[in-house]
């Protein structure tokens, strides 16, 4: 009798796949709307006379504001629950797109599409992934990977829709439709996002759960420093190759369209990597799979220097995309193991802020190295070195106890 009663909460947690579907939809739409700016770049520049650099800077502003806002949204999610956070983010996402479609100056567009949309997009990653990690016990890595997979398919959903819309309407009408569509799709999904009951996270065998750390202790702990620095180095290692490989392939003599398909191949492989690594992490442990994935990512980045034909680029892109896509959700799984569900949104928000800095660093350094040396060789070699550094850092994670129970974490230093 007692055994059956204690089993029900875990079964109820692991059966909540509707939340996973809603989370994947939200991350897909939010990131997809943000990345659709690439489709609007040419028609907007032609219609308004705004420079492409000025329009593109909205994306830079969005990444910066998304990284900073993620920390705040994560903390609010821990305090007030994820539903109110994603509701606010959904309202802001549609509103920012609608207002951007009405912008009369470049500065207005940068504020609406850049700053406001970045704030909106930041409300989905940490709160939704933290919630999924809190609901699931037996299939936690797979659940988090499926939510993260929404970001992987985002460029293959909203961007084609945007391309179709701008062939039939002007760019303002197209963005207006996308903004309203985001509300129509996401507002019903908000009600599927709900916090996991605290009582459901008891230790195995009915024992009382281990006391969880306060947020100040968590952010000063060795586990968080290792998590955050590894996340930063991981993103810094793959962001440069992701951004510059198309240009590198064109420099190798590939036609522009063929070079762009390499990026698509990376994205498709990344989607598969999220699912594969999620299943493996549930069976082998998140830390082992993370270290293996980071090692593969490091050598795959440098392998681009060994190819100069489309078939070779595809082969490397599959391995590279599989690795960088697969490791991304595992940071949330490790954070859940170490810090528990109560402060997970705040911890993930802080870690995501560091990862955003890593993502911003790779493209800038890659461009600087090319301008200085006239070659992408040092960028790929540097990416491998940073990637191997991420492996070394990840190996220093404190050990977790049985059944993923977090150890007694001590403040760093």
- Mean per-residue pLDDT for 373-396? 94
pLDDT of amino acid 155: 64
pLDDT of amino acid 400: 61
pLDDT of amino acid 74: 80
Model pLDDT for residues 8-67, shown as the tens digit of each residue: 444 444 457 778 888 888 888 888 888 787 778 778 888 888 877 778 778 778 878 887
Q: How many CA atoms lie within 13 A of 217 on its CB side?
A: 10
pTM of the prediction? 0.71
pLDDT confidence bin for 152, thresholds 50/70/90: low
Domain 9-195 top-level CATH class:
mainly alpha
Compare 30 and 130 and report the one with higher pLDDT. Answer: 30
Looking at the DSSP assignment, which residues form a beta bridge with residue 221?
A: 411
Looking at the DSSP assignment, which residues form a beta bridge with residue 411?
A: 221
Which range, of 2-6, 119-123, 277-281, 317-321, averages the lowest pLDDT?
2-6
129 pLDDT exceeds 70?
Answer: yes
236 token code pair:
């810094």
Which range, of 4-8, 100-104, 139-143, averages the lowest pLDDT?
4-8
114 token code pair:
């850049």
Compare 411 and 227 and report the one with higher pLDDT. Answer: 227
pLDDT of amino acid 391: 96
Domains 9-195 and 215-397 share a fold: yes
- Mean per-residue pLDDT for 264-280? 84
- What is the percentage of the chain residues whose pLDDT exceeds 70? 87
- What is the percentage of the chain residues whose pLDDT exceeds 90? 29
pLDDT of amino acid 213: 65
Say if residue 17 is exposed, middle or buried (CB neighbours under 10 Å; 0-12, 13-18, 19+).
Answer: middle
pLDDT of amino acid 98: 95
Q: What Cα–Cα distance (Å) separates residue 133 from each residue in 115, 145, 185, 197, 257?
A: 28, 10, 24, 13, 39
- C-alpha 362/C-alpha 370 separation (Å) is 12
pLDDT of amino acid 96: 94
From the candidate CATH numbers 1.20.1250.20, 2.40.10.10, 3.20.20.140, 3.50.50.60, the one assigned to the domain spanning 215-397: 1.20.1250.20
331 pLDDT exceeds 80?
Answer: yes
Instruction: Identify the three-state secondary structure at position 411.
Output: strand
Backbone angles phi, psi at 411, to 5 degrees: -60, 145
Averaged confidence pLDDT in the chain: 81
- C-alpha 352/C-alpha 74 separation (Å) is 10
228 token code pair:
């955050």
Which range, of 121-125, 301-305, 379-383, 409-413, averages the lowest pLDDT?
409-413
380 pLDDT exceeds 90?
Answer: yes
210 pLDDT exceeds 70?
Answer: no
- Give me the residue spans of the domains in the chain: 9-195, 215-397
């Amino acid at each position: 009798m007692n055994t059956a009663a204690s089993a029900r909460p875990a079964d109820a947690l692991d059966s909540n796949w509707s939340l996973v579907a809603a989370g994947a939809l939200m991350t897909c739409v939010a990131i997809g709307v943000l990345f659709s700016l690439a489709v609007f770049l040419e028609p907007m520049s032609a219609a308004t006379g705004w420079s492409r650099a000025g329009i593109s800077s909205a994306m830079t502003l969005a990444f910066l504001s998304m990284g900073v806002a993620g920390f705040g949204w994560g903390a609010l999610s821990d305090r007030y629950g994820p539903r109110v956070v994603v509701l606010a983010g959904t309202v802001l996402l549609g509103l920012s797109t609608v207002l951007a479609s009405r912008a009369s100056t470049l500065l207005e567009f940068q504020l609406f599409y850049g700053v406001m949309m970045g704030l909106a997009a930041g409300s989905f990653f940490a709160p939704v992934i933290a919630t999924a990690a809190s609901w699931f016990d037996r299939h936690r890595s797979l659940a988090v990977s499926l939510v993260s997979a929404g970001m992987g398919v985002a460029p293959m959903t909203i961007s084609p829709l945007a391309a179709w819309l701008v062939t039939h309407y002007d760019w303002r009408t197209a963005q207006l439709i996308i903004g309203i569509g985001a509300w129509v799709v996401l507002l019903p999904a908000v009600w599927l996002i709900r916090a996991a009951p605290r009582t459901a996270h008891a230790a195995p065998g009915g024992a009382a759960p281990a006391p969880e750390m306060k947020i100040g202790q968590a952010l000063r702990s060795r586990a968080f420093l290792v998590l955050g620095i590894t996340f930063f180095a991981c993103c810094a290692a793959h962001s440069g190759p992701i951004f510059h490989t198309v240009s590198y392939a064109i420099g190798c003599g590939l036609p522009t369209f063929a070079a762009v398909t390499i990026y698509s191949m990376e994205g498709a492989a990344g989607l598969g990597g999220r699912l594969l690594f999620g299943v493996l992490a549930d069976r082998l442990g998140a830390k082992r799979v993370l270290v293996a994935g980071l090692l593969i990512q490091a050598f795959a980045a440098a392998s681009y220097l060994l190819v100069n034909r489309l078939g070779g680029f595809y082969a490397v892109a599959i391995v590279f995309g599989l690795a960088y896509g697969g490791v991304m959700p595992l940071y949330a799984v490790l954070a859940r193991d170490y810090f528990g569900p109560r402060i997970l949104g705040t911890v993930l928000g802080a870690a995501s802020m560091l990862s955003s800095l890593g993502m911003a660093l790779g493209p800038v350094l890659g461009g600087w190295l090319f301008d200085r040396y006239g070659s992408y060789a040092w960028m790929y070699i540097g990416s491998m070195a940073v990637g191997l550094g991420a492996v070394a850092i990840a190996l220093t994670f404190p050990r977790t106890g049985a059944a993923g129970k977090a150890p007694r974490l001590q403040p760093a230093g």
